[in-house]
Chains A and B, each alone.
Chain A
């Protein structure tokens, strides 16, 4: 009965709007990244002018030389400007990712929920934001302005060619929008497939002991192969659409450039079948022709980065953190409080686990909750931590009510039925209950809980290096270390032999001194230690 209450469905914020909100605190950095991307226009124009003038003045090397220098300098400047824009964009991406990740983490650890999806959201999902902010956002800004700036420059050399360029922009943009819409759905499905595969790996590695024991490696591999194939197909579909649309855009830009080339060529040859108000020379024609591909370049770069936007939008829904109705936490006194359960009902689904439960506990009392498995003993303990839903009634602790505080986490010493182990040393594992604790107190808690030997030995995620009994003792040592007026114990002596249990009983009594204690237990010996036994 450890299921946390299902989180409220996040408000339906459109992904685009949410992305805009996420980037809002970094508007100035976004603008800077965009302007730097636009700044690429200046060396592009410089290069075109330099090359055109070098070629057209080639007969007189003295006149051509400065233009050749301009072309060379522009080319180098272009590389440098691009580098600065990339670095600023990358910093923008990092800034937004850090913000979003923090709010996700705060939600994950605040609610105490567990899910593979959240983990994927934190790594792959947040990762998908990077491309959106570091590449797509600056490019979007540039795509709106850069083509117009280049066309304006071209207009100096040939207004007619500039007009043609401007005219071709509209179908180009329409084509881009069309390609983008087609890929959006595929991209979302691809992200879901990635999610599934990642979650499957995490889960199956966690269950590896069972998979090995049941000779199920072959079947599990088949399952993973299916998820892997699905991801491959989805990704291939997204890529094909992306490549096709970028191919169409490339072709279109090539056609437009060819149109300009034909116009310039015929103008130079004076073979145009219609009258135009301008006569081009080699330098003007070369300049316009060199600039023509640059008009479409920002748009094509944007289209290439479109996948970044789709990935970010697909990930957005998993990154939206629902508003938490956080209660007002109340600081309990240091003295053991009275606890009163009034008509408490706990329901995870339609059926309630605990219904109309009433109990009054006096300060400092030890109460044992006993009853059949599934009777709701653990749920009552989780309720006080805010990990089980209060579906009816209320719990009052020293005048503070649970319905208002939302839980008394942080002021509770707790040892679970299945204590968790973090990778690190045994000492670090004990100290998480009270990071401020000095070495002496940690050592005392360890030895009182019966954890002897080297406290600096390393323990892995699976708890390797600790026996089942030692793991229980680890949970208890944490409860011992924590200074809190309430002690909650969930099956503290399960899996201990009678002799070990006996030593543990003394410890529990010692730990409970000066605290109000609730113990969920099956053990008659533990129940005997309590001041009161409540049958559920």
Chain B
């Protein structure tokens, strides 16, 4: 199932979508190289020719056509500038547009991976992937014009040098080949490893920072500030070192190019001995500019390691997407095999048991936040292990024990569950005993809750999670410790509203709690005692009661 070229495929699709811009960039890049080579070569030829004519006397001056070359020089200057602007804008726009489309696709792929894998991602690392790694991929688009620029530059400079001596042209091409091969070696030996390390290090740094930031209050309590600073700083040092190594490798590429250019210059000048002096000047300057047309390729090779590592890491992050099985979800009746219990909405099931016995794990398997165990639960006659997590999730509205809130407003958090007007939102807040608190806020529903709801108390976060679950239409409402952290009066208020809602909506309830009051509203009560060796939960009926 693992397709190692998924990301490469996405990138190729984007390159195809942006092909028009990329073609323009490549054509403009070629024009830049040719114009630059001709501009400098022609200038050298012109000056030298003028000097010779000047020395030869008035007749030669009259014969020397200075209008034509100087006009061409100006034309070339305009051409070079304009083409370079077009190349850069077209190339970068193609890259930016492609990256902007890639990011959401990648998030979607990450989120659609098998749940246990998707949920094991740490947020700092994922953010590094979607921001830095995707940025590193940019070079794959921008560099597409580099070979064209190099090709055009080498052809035109070899042609000009060939005017002085065909051998010079041939030697120049050879020198350019040597230059490129050397740069490739430096790229493989120095840039690739450094670029790869830099990408890894920035992910590790973000990861470390996110982890440490999350413990900040506890770190403060235990006076571990300096330790945390040290931890983060050493992760950052690793990234800095990799960046310096990368920069240095680029410097070595430049040194190598300078050496080859110098050698090529000496050789070209030597083999043009005997040719007219203006042509020698032209050959010398064309050599220098021709060698420079490899700059784009050098830059691309320099960033190649980082790009390759980025693609590999993105591939790893989004290895496969579970296909939606596309079938309609089965009827919502549930059979808990271990307890030999059949349930259908509006039945109410209460689960209790010692902490650590696996209540939350069992719930997460059931509703599709974990991979299901075969032989544990049957839904509508089908073992849930053979249903996709997305199909299972459609059957449940879940309020988790560990409420995850978006860094947005109260409204944003509620609307995560689905669309709803203000009246609907206030009604669910009312039923979750949170309306009064939110109404007291000047911004009301638009009150920002902060990062992971830090502006709300633990109890308030939980009730916002409950209100959010109320908003979702699903046959089963699944509540994990919904009244934990509430005082008895608020708990009673919440449970009363819950019972009314269940009757109104003919919704079933699966409730996990160790408190008596919530369990009391359930008709079937089961205890989850422990996890068996095979990972399945051990369920015992607590007491059957047929009272509504």
Residue A205, interface by CB 8 Å: yes
Give the bracket for the number of chain A residues in contact with chain B: 35 or more
Check if B9 is an interface residue, CB within 8 A of chain A. no
Flag if B369 contacts A498 (CB, 8 Å).
no
Contact A209 B247 (CB under 8 A): no
Most buried by A among B111, B270, B487: B111
User: Known contacts A254-B81, A265-B47; is A213 also within 8 Å of B124 by CB?
Assistant: no
Do residues A522 and B220 form an inter-chain contact, with CB atoms below 8 A? Answer: no
A residues near B202, Cβ cutoff 8 Å: 123
A-B contact pairs, 10 of them (CB 8 A): A72-B266, A75-B262, A101-B233, A118-B213, A204-B107, A205-B127, A208-B121, A239-B93, A374-B457, A411-B223
Given A217-B108, A412-B221, A460-B120: A496 and B131 interface contact (C-beta under 8 Å): no
Given contacts A101-B236, A105-B233, A522-B486, contact A500 B247 (CB under 8 A): no
Interface residues in A201-224 (C-beta closer than 8 Å to B): 201-222, 224
| Distance of B23 from chain A, by nearest CB (Å) | 18
Q: Are A269's CB and B126's CB within 8 A?
A: no
CA distance in complex: A221, B100 (Å): 12
Report Cα–Cα, A488/B393, bound state, in Å: 39
A83: chain B residues within 8 A (beta carbon)? 248, 251-252, 254-255
Known contacts A90-B243, A213-B396, A224-B107; 18 further A-B pairs (Cβ under 8 A): A2-B454, A59-B277, A68-B269, A80-B255, A98-B236, A109-B229, A112-B219, A197-B103, A212-B119, A213-B400, A214-B417, A218-B108, A231-B100, A270-B61, A410-B223, A418-B402, A461-B123, A496-B514
The stretch of B153-161, B299-307, B348-356 in contact with A is B348-356
- In Å, the complex CA distance between A495 and B356 comes to 10
A467 close to B (CB within 8 Å): yes
| Interface presence of B312 (CB below 8 A) | no
A122 to B407 Cα, complex, angstroms? 19
One of A236, A264, A271 near B92 (C-beta < 8 A): A236
Q: Are A208 and B111 in contact (CB under 8 A)?
A: yes
Say whether, besides A247-B85, A269-B61, A467-B360, A372 and B487 are in contact (CB < 8 Å).
yes
B492 within 8 Å of A (CB atoms): no
Chain B stretch 44-101: residues in CB contact (< 8 A) with chain A: 44, 46-48, 50-54, 61, 64, 66, 70, 73-74, 77-78, 80-82, 84-85, 88-89, 92-93, 96-97, 99-101
Are B244 and A55 in contact, with the CB atoms below 8 A?
Answer: no
> Which of A8-16, A146-154, A178-186, A428-436 contacts its partner?
A428-436
B458 at interface by CB-CB < 8 Å: yes
The interface residues of chain B, by DSSP majority, are classed as: helix
A330 at interface, CB cutoff 8 A: no
Q: Does B406 make an interface contact (CB < 8 A)?
A: yes
Chain A neighbourhood of B356, CB < 8 A: 467-470
Q: Are A500 and B355 in contact (CB under 8 A)?
A: yes
Central interface residue in B130, B214, B393, B418, by most chain A CB within 10 Å: B130
B437 within 8 A of A: yes
Q: Is the CB of A198 within 8 A of B131?
A: yes
B100, A202: Cβ atoms under 8 Å?
A: no
Q: A306-335 interface mask toward B, CB cutoff 8 Å, 1 = contact, 0 = none?
A: 000000000000000000000000000000
Once A201-B107, A374-B459, A469-B355 are accepted as A-B contacts, the answer to whether A115 and B122 lie under 8 Å apart by CB is no
A217 touches B352 (CB 8 A): no
- Of B66, B216, B280, most buried by chain A (CB within 10 Å of CB) is B216
Chain B residues, Cβ within 8 Å of A232: 96-97, 99-100
- B122: A residues at CB distance < 8 A: 205, 423, 460-462
Among B143-151, B203-211, B336-344, B375-383, the stretch in contact with A: B203-211
B-facing residues in A97-140 (Cβ within 8 Å): 97-98, 101-102, 105-106, 108-110, 112-116, 118-119, 122-124, 126, 130, 134
Provide the A420-432 mask, 1 if CB < 8 A to any CB of B, else 0. 1011000000001
User: A94-B244, A116-B451 are contacts. A209–B486 as well, Cβ < 8 Å?
Assistant: no
Chain B residues with Cβ below 8 Å from A61 are: 273
Q: Closest Cβ of chain A: how far from B420's Cβ, in Å?
A: 12
Q: Shortest beta-carbon distance, B97 to chain A, in Å?
A: 6
B405 in contact (CB, < 8 A) = yes
Closest to B116 in A: A464
Report the minimum CB–CB distance from A534 to chain B (whole Å): 15
